[in-house]
Amino acid sequence: MIKTGTAIEPELWRASESRSRAEGFYPRYAKRFFDCAGATAGLIALSPVFLGVSAAVAIASLASAEPGPVFFSQRRVGKNGQPFSLIKFRTMAPAPDRGEASVTVAGDARVTPLGALLRRWKIDELPQLWNVWKGDISLVGPRPELEGFVAEYTAEQRRVLRVRPGITDLASITYRDEAEMLAEHENPQEWYRRMVLPHKLALNLDYIDSISFSGDVALIRKTLAAVFFRRGKRTGLAGQVSCGGPALQNGEAASGIVSGSAE
C-alpha cells in the first residue's frame, strides 16, 4: 500500500511556466460563479433526494451488524496541493481509516447492498455539491486523488493541481465502469497506479489546456447521459484494458464518471 503523508509539499504542485487556458477569465473568475449557482440550485432542487437517501442509509445502518454514519468523508488533495475533506453518502461498511491510498473494485465485500445501488447511479456523489459550494472543488475539473497517489505525480502531472478538482471530468466519464475493469486484474491497485491514473491525468491536462464554459457544460451533459442512459462506449485505455491493450499516448483522444480511490 502507498502511505499518505500529512501534507503535500509545495514543489509537488508547482506547474511549468507555460501559460494555459487555466489562466483565462472564465477559469479565474466566471467558473466560480457558475459553480456557486449550480451547487446552490442542485442543493435546493435535490433536497428531497438528500433527505430520502440519508434516511435510507441511516435505517440500513441500524439494521446492519456494523452501524455507521450517513456520510463518509475522506482527505483528498485540492487546488495548489491543499488537502480537504471530500464528502459522500456512505456506501461501505464502517472501517478504520488506515491512511492508505487504495482502490475499490466491483464485488468488494465492503460495499453494502444499498451502497451498490447508490454507486450504480452515482447518488453517493451528490453531497459533493456542498464541497462545490464551499469552494473545495468545482462542478467540472480533475477528480481529486488521495495524497499517496499525488505524491507520485511527475512535474508535468502536477499541473492538474493548478485548478480546483471537480465532481466530474472526461476521465470520470471514460472510466465510469472503472470498478468492473479493475476487478479483472490480479493487482487492481498496481494496475490503477501504473496504467489508469497516468491516462486519467493526461486527459485532465488536456482539459486544463482547453478549459471553457461551453466545454464544462458539454461535460456535465455527457456525465448525465453516461449515468442515466449509459451512453458512450468504453474507449481508449478503458476500452482496451480487458484485452490487455497498451495505454494510450497523452495526446490521444478518449470520450465517454468515477475516481479510483476507496469509497
User: What confidence tens digit (pLDDT) does each residue in 31-53 have?
Assistant: 999 999 999 999 999 999 999 99
Return the number of other C-beta atoms located less than 10 Å from residue 184's C-beta: 13
Give me the pLDDT at residue 18, please: 42
Identity at 207, one-letter amino acid code: Y
Contact 39, 129 (CB under 8 A): yes
pLDDT tens digit sequence for 95-120: 755 556 578 888 888 899 999 999 99
Give mean pLDDT, residues 206-222.
97
What pLDDT does 101 receive?
Answer: 56
Cβ atoms within 10 Å, residue 74:
16
Q: Provide, rounded to the nearest whole percent, the portion of the chain with pLDDT above 70.
A: 77
The whole-chain average pLDDT of the chain stands at: 84
Band of the pLDDT at 1, cuts 50, 70, 90?
Answer: very low
What is the Cα 158 distance to its own chain's centre? 16
